[in-house]
Amino acid sequence: MRFASFSLAVSFRLLMDQSLLALILTSATVRKVEADENRFLVSAGEASGDMYAAGLVASLRQFLPANATFYGCAGPKLQAQGVNPVIDAGSLSVVGLAEVVVHLPRIYGQYRKLLRYTKAHKPAAAILTDNPDFHLRLARHLKKMNVPVFYLVAPQVWAWRQGRVKTIRRLVDKLFCLFPFEEPWFREHGVNATYIGHPLAAMVRTSGTAASFRAAHALPAAGLLLTLLPGSRPGEALRHMLVLLDAAHLLQQRWPKATFVLATPKGFAEKRVFENFRERIAALSIKVIENEAWDCIGHASLVLAASGTVTMEAAVLGTPMVTFYKVTALSWWAGRRLVKVPYLSMVNLIAGRLVVPELIQDEMTAANLASAATELLASESRLALMRDDLEAVRASLILPGPERDPLKRAAEEIAASLGKFQNVRETMD
């Protein structure tokens, strides 16, 4: 589990005094704007949220008129679906309390820009994805505008700040849950919530065979393959990389014929954080592969993964893993006082027990990472047991029935609630 939501919540409060915000915004509103029934606001602040929201938009287009338009906070995948990026989702991607504080003026400026545009271009409905500290504030104004709010990826209020569920109950018309334990929890608290399954369970797959993957990247045809996943954000990678590389060095001493791959997002090698470690990566003979994370995970013997979406991807692919995460000391001190869950890895939370090792904060050392990985690699029975546990996690993320696409389920419910589903279906039939 990440601490971005905690960091952004604390920091947003420092800047977003409600009376001041109301004064700024109401003074700018000079006329009533009518909603366009074929115009929709879509907002996603994380890379994973951008991917899920893009899939939802693609499915929703099947049930809406051809002239339906979308705008909002959009990353590359939403933009590829034709969503007009009033603001870019990448501008909101920051982790850690100290880091968020530095970027607050920019984040706040982006928030105001999106809200001004929304007031001038009232949508028929809003689809908000993850990032609750940004989106629940936006939802307050949407409700005042009588805009229905659909929320994809339930905020993790079951883990911390449980009092915020009252805000969700008041502001969100329909909440779509990706994890099986979330729907009953939210419904018990009066939220109109539905479990749709997890999109990753339907999306994640390798593009080819292990042999073709190894050949394409000039990797040995056989033997151990270990994939390093330091995190997709530069700040994450900077905090994790040195320890991760030290762990790889220790593992090379124990497994000298093992092959190591560093899986990164597209363009990562051009970032300054990579430059800091370029020589060390080369000295350890680690192969850097960009923009092929699912193949790097799916064809690996084991992955060392920063806790987050990538651990769910590994679970779906059935690849054994060791998870880790580190934030600034301030973020850790404040976050641990508020988090109310027994595990920080979503894989373990879904399983309800410790399925994959978690090395968080001070426990994330090179020695601990290498030791946890060695214990698994040295025991085929442990690897087999973890694969079975991961398969059980994957199975729990898929709803039974002929229509297993979670995002299409969500699209159908949104279209139906807008009163357009039946007409569109009749036209399609």
What structural domains and CATH numbers belong to the chain?
Answer: 4-197+400-428 (3.40.50.2000), 210-396 (3.40.50.2000)
Could you tell me which residues come within 8 angstroms of residue 179 by beta carbon, excluding any fewer than 6 positions away? 154, 195, 198, 346, 349, 350, 397
pLDDT on residue 315: 98
Distance of CA 178 to the CA centre of its chain: 11
Distance between CA atoms of residues 297 and 42, nearest Å: 30
Distance between CA atoms of residues 320 and 317, nearest Å: 9
Distance between CA atoms of residues 416 and 197, nearest Å: 19
> For each of the chain's 429 residues, which pLDDT tens digit applies?
444 444 444 444 444 444 334 333 333 443 467 778 899 999 998 888 999 999 999 999 999 999 999 999 999 999 999 999 999 987 675 444 444 555 577 788 889 999 999 999 999 999 999 889 899 999 999 999 999 999 999 998 888 778 899 999 999 999 999 999 999 999 999 999 999 999 999 889 999 999 999 999 999 999 999 999 999 888 888 899 999 999 999 999 999 999 999 999 888 877 777 888 999 999 999 999 999 999 999 999 999 999 988 999 999 999 999 999 998 777 777 666 667 778 889 999 999 999 999 999 999 999 999 999 999 999 999 999 999 999 999 999 998 876 679 999 999 999 999 885 444 444 444
What are the two backbone dihedrals, phi and then psi, of residue 152, each rounded to the nearest 5 degrees? -105, 135
Q: Residue 125 forms beta bridges with which residues? A: 40
pLDDT on residue 101: 54
Q: Which helix (H) or strand (E) holds 298?
A: helix 293-298
pLDDT on residue 173: 97
pLDDT on residue 28: 40
3, 30, 94, 97 from 336: Cα distances, Å: 9, 45, 19, 13
How many CA atoms lie within 13 Å of 418's alpha carbon, on the beta-carbon side? 28
pLDDT on residue 235: 81
Q: Residue 229 forms beta bridges with which residues? A: 305
